[in-house]
């Protein structure tokens, strides 16, 4: 039985994240109460904490009606504790393991009805930013945001299904084919996972551009065939030499003019270039259109992920196609989320994914 009150990590303002007592709201129709097992700390959580609010809103959010302070946590796993009225009990059963798709959308517009919820015409929100997320022992989740996880998949692994789905969607957008070559720019958590997904989907040769040695080593562990330091090496020249003319796919997980230029320059004719990282909102990319035009290159973007992506990720975790347990670099208690979580991600370069054990 869930308690009436509980400890939760709530974001109030920049540099103001408090572990404090909150009430557990009653279940609304269509909602599922999840007993949270593990919640991951994401780079976007770090940015929100450092200089936000960005995704969290001071005024009531258009889709959820909720505002700061907000319980964070959009990467989490757990077990179903209770079903609200109207929940599909054939698909979702008490005791089942679940992972969470955090995007909140209207579910009524054309993109939503076509399964493209991140492209909702009314804008989107997120569990953990615009309604309470998983940095609490229990949370209420709309049934549409839950994916059942097979019993043999560990819940710490299931907590990485969300960032892995971001990487999976990016690779799907690239339309990579077995035997093709790829460049990944940036080996943070998403870049590392993109590298692993590319290899799992049959990429024959993957180059990673990453300026820090620690993250470069992580990229190698994720299957990179060649890691280049862009501060020491002409990445475009090195990639074109290593692949005899350029890669088939470039995925930019860093998001700035220099990395975009490298993605365009290191690709061969007919290549696909996928932009994953957010750019600063006040900056616009300068485009070498001749490079795109005369190479007939496709430049596209990957925004969040689809429900289908998460279903495929859960299957890949279940059948062993993808392994992520080695990317969990620390497990901490909720009370330590600032010192051993957010600060550690900034100060200790070896971290890929820090999980908060919500049942400690």
pLDDT score at 178: 99
pLDDT of residue 1: 73
Instruction: Give me the pLDDT at residue 88, please.
Output: 98
Domains in the chain, start-ordered, CATH in brackets? 5-160+324-357 (3.90.180.10), 164-301 (3.40.50.720)
Closest CA to 218 of 322, 332, 317, 326: 326
Compute CA 271 distance to the chain's CA centroid, rounded to the nearest angstrom. Answer: 25
pTM beyond 0.85: the answer is yes
Cβ-Cβ contacts under 8 Å for 341 (sequence gap 6 or more): 41, 332, 354, 356
How many angstroms from the chain centroid is the CA of residue 284? 23
pLDDT tens, N- to C-terminus, the chain (360 residues): 777 899 999 999 999 999 999 999 999 999 999 999 999 999 999 999 999 999 999 999 999 999 999 999 999 999 999 999 999 999 999 999 999 999 999 999 999 999 999 999 999 999 999 999 999 999 999 999 999 999 999 999 999 999 999 999 999 999 999 999 999 999 999 999 999 999 999 999 999 999 999 999 999 999 999 999 999 999 999 999 999 999 999 999 999 999 999 999 999 999 999 999 988 777 788 989 999 999 999 999 999 999 999 999 999 999 999 999 999 999 999 999 999 999 999 999 889 999 999 988
- pLDDT value of residue 225: 99
- Residue 335 contacts by C-beta under 8 Å, 6 or more apart in sequence? 7, 19
- Residue 14 in contact with residue 29, Cβ under 8 Å? no
Q: Which residues of 124-144 are buried (b: 16+ CB within 10 A; e: fewer)?
A: bbbbbbbbbbbbbbbbbbbbb
Matching residue, tokens 């590319």: 198
Residue 199, both tokens: 């290899």
């Amino acid at each position: 039985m869930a308690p009436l009150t509980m400890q939760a990590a709530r974001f109030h303002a920049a540099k103001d994240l408090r572990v404090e007592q909150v009430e557990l709201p009653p279940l609304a129709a269509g909602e599922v109460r999840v007993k949270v097992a593990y919640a991951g700390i994401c780079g976007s959580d770090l940015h929100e904490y450092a200089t936000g609010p960005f995704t969290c809103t001071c005024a009531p959010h258009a889709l959820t009606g909720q505002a700061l302070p907000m319980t964070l946590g959009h990467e989490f796993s757990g077990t179903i504790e209770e079903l609200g009225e109207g929940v599909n009990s054939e698909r979702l059963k008490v005791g089942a393991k679940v992972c969470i798709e955090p995007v909140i959308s209207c579910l009524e517009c054309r993109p939503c009805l076509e399964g493209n919820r991140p492209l909702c015409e009314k804008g989107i929100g997120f569990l953990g930013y615009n309604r309470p997320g998983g940095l609490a022992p229990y949370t209420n989740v709309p049934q549409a945001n839950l994916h059942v996880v097979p019993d043999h998949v560990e819940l710490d692994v299931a907590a990485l299904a969300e960032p892995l789905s971001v990487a999976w969607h990016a690779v799907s957008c690239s339309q990579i084919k077995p035997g093709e070559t790829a460049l990944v720019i940036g080996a943070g958590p998403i870049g590392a996972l993109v590298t692993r997904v590319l290899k799992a989907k049959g990429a024959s040769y993957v180059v990673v551009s990453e300026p820090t040695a620690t993250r470069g080593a992580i990229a190698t562990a994720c299957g990179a065939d060649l890691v280049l330091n862009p501060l020491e090496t002409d990445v475009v020249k090195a990639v074109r030499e290593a692949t005899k003319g350029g890669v088939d796919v470039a995925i930019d997980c860093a998001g700035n003019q220099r990395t975009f230029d490298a993605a365009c320059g290191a690709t061969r004719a007919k290549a696909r270039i996928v932009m994953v990282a957010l750019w600063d909102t006040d900056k616009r990319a300068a485009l070498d259109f001749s490079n795109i035009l005369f190479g007939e290159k496709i430049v596209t973007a990957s925004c969040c992920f689809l429900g289908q992506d998460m279903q495929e990720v859960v299957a890949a975790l279940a059948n062993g196609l993808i392994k992520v347990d080695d990317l969990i670099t620390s497990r901490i208690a909720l009370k330590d989320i600032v010192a051993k979580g957010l600060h550690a991600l900034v100060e200790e370069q070896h971290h890929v994914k820090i999980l908060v054990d919500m049942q400690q």
